[in-house]
Structure 1
Amino acid sequence: MSDSTANRLPTNVRPKHYDLTVVTDLVNSTFYGTVKVKLDVQEQTSQIIFHTKDLELYQLVVYSDVLGIGQTAASTSFDTKTERAIVTLSTALPASSKAVLDVRFTAGLTDSLIGYYRSVGGTDAKDICSITQFEPTSARQALPCWDEPLLKATFAVTLISRADTVNLSNMPIVSEVGYATGLDAWLDGRLANSNDQWKMTRFETTPPVAQVSFASLLNFDSFADVYIFVGVREWSFCVSGKLLHESSERENPTAAFAGFALDVKRQALVLYEQVFQIEYPLPKLDTLVVSDFDANAMENWARSPSESGLITGRNSAFLLDPKAESLNVKRQIATTVTHEVAHMWLVLFSDTVLFGNITTMEWWDNLYLNEGFATLMAKVTILGEEQYQI
């Protein structure tokens, strides 16, 4: 690995957990929220430096378990070149202590295809959803964070949106209720200006993940023409003896367009289990397809039997019109699907996990290892299908 320490955040504190709440306003193309980041203080310091870009930050407070006080930032400055915020405290945090950084933030939902953005689709361009794309360094455009691949942390996510929308994230839903005041005074004040009904969706806490793998602050109009094919929600199958929910094309007309990608995903899961002699460990593998997406597709992962994987991508990467299909289009979709499924896999050798989402490169110059493995597996899988031979 090349020496890139000059580009890295200081090591005086390390994030361990993010308690993240995000309000998504699709009508006004904005989002805002709060994040409480639990920190391990590695050395005595009066500065906390983290990544942020295109976010307005408010009410920065740092709590210390040893000092027993909450300190409002004495000063906050921003380095736009390195996309960092520098928070300076009046009283230094002791070494080997615990701290919590509490921040409020706001930003607009842009059409940039990175960070947390909006996707517009449908024949009349009225189908709007919001979605994340963090790889490689765009998590900082969705929340204040330590946006480096080695700095893994757990995430507890709460999404607040209008009552007629749908929320998804990497993890299963814990609860979904109507929003009631009292969660946070700052959020209450902003939501008080709206006459609409809002709801609050809480998700299970993730395992330790890098910001690049954590994703999917997904919010869309429940009546929008957004294609979703989901492991246990829509079009499902039986993998490793796990019988999942099934539905038919009659129940959902978009199933005909998603059917080919679903069939490839099912075959790839079974094949990878046979090749690696390791069962797919998650109960489902969701795929969300939207009109606008920066990459062809993106894998977002979680790693225990109670957790869920999620693949996000654009329509052209997954949807096949049965009336206008071609061998070339089918080959492209099959390659994309098998590539993304390969990212989910855990390749275990002598208790070492290689190239899967359970491990992450230390720095971006090793990204080729992660992508190279998935590309190789996709090519090998497709080469085994005679119908896709060139």
Structure 2
Amino acid sequence: MAEISLQYASLFSESLGETLQPSSQVFNADGERVVLNFGKPLPAKSKALLDLRFKCVLNASLQGYFKSSWNHDGKTTYYALTQFEPIAARRAFPCWDEPALKATFDVTMISRVGGINLSNMPILSEQPYLPEEGDLIFETSENLGVVGEWKITRFETSPIAKYVLDVTTQVMPIYEQLFDIDYPLPKLDTLIVDDFDVDRILPEWKVDSEFINIFLNDALGLDAKPSSHPIEADCPDASQTLQVFDALSYAKAASVLRMLAKYVGEQRFLEGVTLYLNKRLYGNSVSRDLWEGVSEATGLDIARLMDNWVTKMGFPVITVTETAQGIHVRQDRFLEEGPNTEKQDQIIWSIPLNILSVNSDGQSELNSNIILDGRESDFCLDTKTPFKLNAGTTGVYRVLYTPDRLLDIAHVAAKDDNIFSLDDRMGLVHDSMALGMAGYSQLSTALSVIDILRQENEYLVWASISANLSKLVSIFWEHSQIIDHLNTFRRNLYDPLVRRLGFEYLKDEPVDITLLRTNVIEQAAAAGHARVVEELRELFADCTRRKDYSRIPADLTKVTYITAVRHGGRLEYEAVKRILKKPKTPTSGISAMHAMCAVEDRILIQETLEFLLIDARDQDVIYFFEGLQANHKTRRTLLQFFRENYDLVSAEQ
């Protein structure tokens, strides 16, 4: 139980033949549990009915059963919905809310006539409802209404397993075919929730390649910290679920499974997953159950191969040195603070090396069978021709080459027709920058790699470059001379792209072009590109005069608002504040919040902090923190504010 006020409790015992009232009631806030003592023991294996009545605030916390709103044509409509993962059902009603415990549910909803009630099961019945005096759901007589104003909806009993329903009908048949399991529920509602993003399934989005930027690189960034943790960790209390199954757990687990699938072959991997799912259908499982399924499908010892990837924290960096016969490779744990033999424990990972090279006929050749399962080893390879480890960037590790070899790979990758794929070029950028920022190699060499790739046309490579340059600027945020040099580098890098792509979004242009234009304009603006800054400021000023911001392309909303406020003053600040009060779209509202945090004037900074504390909705606090930490002028102020107002801020979450 969390944020629930228990109003009444009783226990009917079938074996005792009586209804018991609790003699004591103790609430444990930390454990989110209530302990009821009924004074009499119940016979073992007997049946009993626990009756609980409670009050709960319908807030905008985005957890449990919460309130949301939708703005359309200037009108705000309210609705309520659930978000129970991972242990938020206990915020909606008293229950044993843990992954290890399962139950069926008979859901009944009382709502206004004219509203739409949805659950994960079909409607059993829906009838008019007349509230009566004493109904706990109605606190005052003015809410009682009349017949026809309220309705009661009863849903069919839910099954024990709860499958994630945030998928679309486009992917459901694919899942059913891949895993040879029909969708287990009788219906599926796909809804758009205004407070969350909604993805689309389109092949031109290059989802597998985008995985590298969204999940793999994030996983490596988090797992490189000394404070990391294994994917598989003990969770003694369900209230700690969010701490154990955090962004690292999900991103690294997905990356490790992707590595395994690429190594054994996706078809055999999916066959193994199907075997695993059918054996554990409607039940709980552990990682070894999955390894057994994949082992059965492949004939390989998957448990031995995967053990250290899921039970140990960290990941390796592969150091490549060239020999007369080929290459010598060595694995060590990668740490973002740099090589440190005292902190590098003796973990040995089983690493698929995926070596891409050119054979004697001049054709590309991929050796995906080599596993490095010792500290170091030698491999025969013709180093006079191009080669690269971790082909396709499928492995959960970094690769460190000598500076000359790294630049050679970059020069080959920059050519129009070469053996290195989009995924290889993305991995090359991420690895070289991560190794440079951590001190394993020179940052100047990593920046040279980016400079060599400046003719790149793929959006996802530029997204990799942009993310790393932004991180580098963020690292040196208090070193103004270094920041100036980095911004000069960024302006020169992005200027040709800005000139080529312009500011106009065409209706039928490829999605990659749309995304690339937005990316380069955002980067150029952040680096202080004079023409870009002026263009965005003029656009915002014109929209402010007209009191119509629809002329701003949706993809440029955020950067336009931020640039106008950062390089403006009170006028621009008040304009985005007005936008936030009545946003036309969720994107517009979030962009306005970020813009309010982009100010550099001390008075306006203080006003933003006061707005955060007093006027910001609970679910919006995170956007203010994102914006304020991204602003170099407000980082230290934000830290002090957080320390002074921790209790107030945490109470809102």
TM-score (norm 2): 0.31
Q: Which structure shows the bigger proportion of residues in strand conformation?
A: 1
Q: Give yes or no for the alignment of 1:317 onto 2:241.
A: no
Task: Note the C-alpha offset of 1:89.
Answer: 1.1
The 2-side partners of 1:186 and 1:195 are apart by 9
Q: Give yes or no for the alignment of 1:290 onto 2:290.
A: no
> Where does residue 116 of structure 2 map in the other structure?
166
Percentage of matched positions with identical amino acids? 38
* CA gap 1:56/1:207 in 2 versus in 1, 3 angstroms: same
* CA gap 1:75/1:154 in 2 versus in 1, 3 angstroms: same
> Where does residue 29 of structure 1 map in the other structure?
none
SS across alignment from 2:90: helix
Letter in 2 for 1:291: D
Q: Give yes or no for the alignment of 1:349 onto 2:275.
A: yes
The 2-side partners of 1:104 and 1:78 are apart by 15
SS across alignment from 1:290: coil
SS across alignment from 1:126: strand
> Where does residue 142 of structure 1 map in the other structure?
92
> Where does residue 206 of structure 1 map in the other structure?
158
> Where does residue 31 of structure 2 map in the other structure?
82
The 1-side partners of 2:16 and 2:119 are apart by 36
SS across alignment from 2:130: coil
The 2-side partners of 1:191 and 1:348 are apart by 54
The correspondence of residues 182-197 of structure 1 with structure 2, limited to 5 A, is 186-187=135-136, 190=139, 192-196=141-145, 197=149
The 2-side partners of 1:327 and 1:208 are apart by 35
1:120 to 52, 69, 82: 69
The 1-side partners of 2:44 and 2:113 are apart by 45
Asked if the contact 2:131/2:144 (under 8 Å) is kept, the reply is no
Task: Note the C-alpha offset of 1:188.
Answer: 7.6
> Where does residue 81 of structure 2 map in the other structure?
131
The 1-side partners of 2:208 and 2:14 are apart by 57
The 1-side partners of 2:177 and 2:138 are apart by 54
* CA gap 1:83/1:119 in 2 versus in 1, 3 angstroms: same
Task: Note the C-alpha offset of 1:278.
Answer: 4.0
Q: Give yes or no for the alignment of 1:56 onto 2:5.
A: yes
> Where does residue 177 of structure 1 map in the other structure?
127
Post-superposition CA distance 1:163-195 (Å, at most 9, x none) = 12111101000111111357x954486475415
Task: Note the C-alpha offset of 1:279.
Answer: 4.0
The correspondence of residues 1-390 of structure 1 with structure 2, limited to 5 A, is 52-123=1-72, 124=74, 126-180=76-130, 186-187=135-136, 190=139, 192-196=141-145, 197-209=149-161, 213=162, 265-266=169-170, 268-292=171-195, 314-318=196-200, 327=205, 348-349=274-275, 352-354=278-280, 358-360=282-284
* CA gap 1:361/1:110 in 2 versus in 1, 3 angstroms: farther
* CA gap 1:331/1:56 in 2 versus in 1, 3 angstroms: farther
* CA gap 1:331/1:167 in 2 versus in 1, 3 angstroms: farther
* CA gap 1:332/1:58 in 2 versus in 1, 3 angstroms: farther
Asked if the contact 1:118/1:131 (under 8 Å) is kept, the reply is yes
The gaps in structure 2 that reach 5 residues or longer are 215-253, 255-271, 295-393, 395-422, 424-457, 462-653
Task: Note the C-alpha offset of 1:282.
Answer: 4.4
The 2-side partners of 1:188 and 1:113 are apart by 21
Post-superposition CA distance 1:33-89 (Å, at most 9, x none) = xxxxxxxxxxxxxxxxxxx11111111101100111111111101111111101011
SS across alignment from 2:172: helix
SS across alignment from 1:166: coil
The 2-side partners of 1:282 and 1:388 are apart by 39
The 2-side partners of 1:194 and 1:145 are apart by 28
The 2-side partners of 1:287 and 1:331 are apart by 26
* CA gap 1:315/1:191 in 2 versus in 1, 3 angstroms: farther
Post-superposition CA distance 1:274-332 (Å, at most 9, x none) = 3334444545432111111xxxxxxxxxxxxxxxxxxxxx3433599xxxxx9479998
Post-superposition CA distance 1:337-357 (Å, at most 9, x none) = xx9xxxxxx965388444x7x
The gaps in structure 1 that reach 5 residues or longer are 1-51, 217-228, 230-260, 293-313, 321-325, 340-345, 374-378
Asked if the contact 1:133/1:215 (under 8 Å) is kept, the reply is no
The 2-side partners of 1:215 and 1:162 are apart by 28
* CA gap 1:330/1:178 in 2 versus in 1, 3 angstroms: farther
The 1-side partners of 2:163 and 2:109 are apart by 14
Q: Which structure shows the bigger proportion of residues in helix conformation?
A: 2
The 1-side partners of 2:45 and 2:15 are apart by 10
Letter in 1 for 2:61: S
The 1-side partners of 2:139 and 2:121 are apart by 27
The 1-side partners of 2:135 and 2:6 are apart by 12
Asked if the contact 1:62/1:99 (under 8 Å) is kept, the reply is yes
* CA gap 1:348/1:329 in 2 versus in 1, 3 angstroms: closer
The structure with the largest alpha-carbon Rg is 2
Letter in 2 for 1:79: N
Asked if the contact 1:120/1:128 (under 8 Å) is kept, the reply is yes
The 2-side partners of 1:99 and 1:132 are apart by 28
Letter in 2 for 1:158: T
SS across alignment from 1:93: coil
* CA gap 1:316/1:280 in 2 versus in 1, 3 angstroms: closer
The 2-side partners of 1:94 and 1:277 are apart by 44
Letter in 2 for 1:276: F
Letter in 1 for 2:154: R
Task: Note the C-alpha offset of 1:105.
Answer: 0.8
* CA gap 1:149/1:125 in 2 versus in 1, 3 angstroms: farther
TM-score (norm 1): 0.50
* CA gap 1:70/1:162 in 2 versus in 1, 3 angstroms: same
The 2-side partners of 1:317 and 1:166 are apart by 24
> Where does residue 238 of structure 1 map in the other structure?
none
* CA gap 1:329/1:351 in 2 versus in 1, 3 angstroms: closer
Deviates more, 1:120-129 or 1:142-151: 120-129
> Where does residue 33 of structure 1 map in the other structure?
none
Task: Note the C-alpha offset of 1:269.
Answer: 2.9
The 1-side partners of 2:108 and 2:181 are apart by 33
Letter in 2 for 1:200: I
Letter in 1 for 2:18: I
Asked if the contact 2:120/2:187 (under 8 Å) is kept, the reply is no
The 2-side partners of 1:121 and 1:97 are apart by 48
The 1-side partners of 2:90 and 2:77 are apart by 26
